[in-house]
C-alpha cells in the first residue's frame, strides 16, 4: 500500500512539474509572438497572475531592479521595478534585457529539473535525509539555518540509532506484521 502511494505521488509530481514547464514554455512563446507581431490577438493581460505564480513557485523572488526611462525635456525618471510585474510590456529593455523572457525561461528550467528529480532515486534519498530542513524551508526558514541543521541532526540520530534499536527489540512483532500484510495482499490478488 505504501509503495503504491509513493509511486502515485511520484507520478503526480512528475506530471505536475511537466505541466508547469509546458505552461512556462507556452506563455514565453506567446509573449515572444506578442512582442514581435502587432497582429497577434491573444490578450496576455489575462495571464499576468499565472505568469507571476509560475515564477514565484519556481523560487524566483520579487527582486526590484533599477530602471531609467526618458520622460522628455532631457529628463530621466529613475525607479525600481519588479520585472515580472511588468508582464506584458513591449518596452524592449523590460521585455528582454531586464528579464521577463529570461525569468520565464529560467522558471521552465526549474520545473524540468523538478520533473526529472521525481524519477531520480538519489533525489529521493536526499529528500529523506534532509526532510526536516525541507519542511522548515517550506515554513519560511532557510535550509542553512542553525535550527534546520539541529533538526536534521535529531532526524539522523533517530534514523541511525533509535530505529535500529526498535527494529531489533521488536523484530518478532515486525515480522508478524509483515507476514499478515503479505497474506492480506495475497488474499486480495
pLDDT tens, position by position, 81-97: 777 777 777 766 666 55
Per-residue b/e over 2-33, b at no fewer than 16 CB within 10 Å? eeeeeeeeeeeebeebbebbebbbebbeebee
Q: Is the pLDDT of residue 140 over 80?
A: no
Return d(Cα 74, Cα 83) in angstroms, integer. 25
Which residue shows C-alpha cell 508478524? Answer: 176
Q: Is the pTM of this model over 0.75?
A: no
In this prediction, residue 94 carries a pLDDT of 63
Contacts (Cβ under 8 Å, ≥6 apart) of 34:
40, 42, 44, 88, 90
Q: 98 pLDDT exceeds 60?
A: no
Would you place residue 18 in the very low, low, confident or very high pLDDT band (cuts 50, 70, 90)?
very high
The answer, yes or no, to whether residue 112 has pLDDT greater than 90, is: yes
Tell me the pLDDT tens digit for each residue of 168-182. 888 888 888 888 888
Tell me how far apart the alpha carbons of residues 8 and 134 are, in angstroms, rounded to a whole number: 21
Quote the pLDDT of residue 29.
92
pLDDT digits (tens, 9 = 90+) for 40-89: 888 888 998 999 899 888 887 766 677 777 778 888 888 777 777 777 77
Amino acid at each position: 500500500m505504501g509503495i503504491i502511494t509513493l509511486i502515485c505521488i511520484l507520478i503526480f509530481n512528475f506530471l505536475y512539474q511537466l505541466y508547469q514547464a509546458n505552461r512556462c514554455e507556452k506563455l514565453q512563446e506567446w509573449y515572444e509572438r506578442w512582442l514581435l507581431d502587432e497582429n497577434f490577438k491573444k490578450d496576455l493581460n489575462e495571464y499576468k497572475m499565472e505568469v507571476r505564480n509560475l515564477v514565484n513557485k519556481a523560487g524566483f523572488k520579487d527582486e526590484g531592479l533599477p530602471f531609467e526611462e526618458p520622460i522628455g525635456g532631457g529628463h530621466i525618471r529613475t525607479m525600481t521595478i519588479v520585472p515580472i510585474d511588468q508582464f506584458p510590456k513591449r518596452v524592449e529593455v523590460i521585455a528582454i534585457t531586464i528579464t521577463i523572457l529570461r525569468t520565464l525561461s529560467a522558471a521552465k528550467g526549474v520545473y524540468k529539473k523538478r520533473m526529472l528529480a521525481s524519477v531520480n532515486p538519489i533525489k529521493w534519498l536526499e529528500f529523506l535525509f534532509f526532510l526536516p530542513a525541507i519542511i522548515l524551508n517550506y515554513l519560511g526558514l532557510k535550509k542553512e539555518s542553525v535550527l534546520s541543521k539541529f533538526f536534521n541532526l535529531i532526524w539522523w540520530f533517530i534514523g541511525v540509532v533509535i530505529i535500529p534499536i526498535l527494529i531489533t527489540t521488536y523484530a518478532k512483532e515486525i515480522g508478524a506484521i509483515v507476514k499478515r500484510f503479505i497474506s492480506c495482499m495475497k488474499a486480495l490478488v
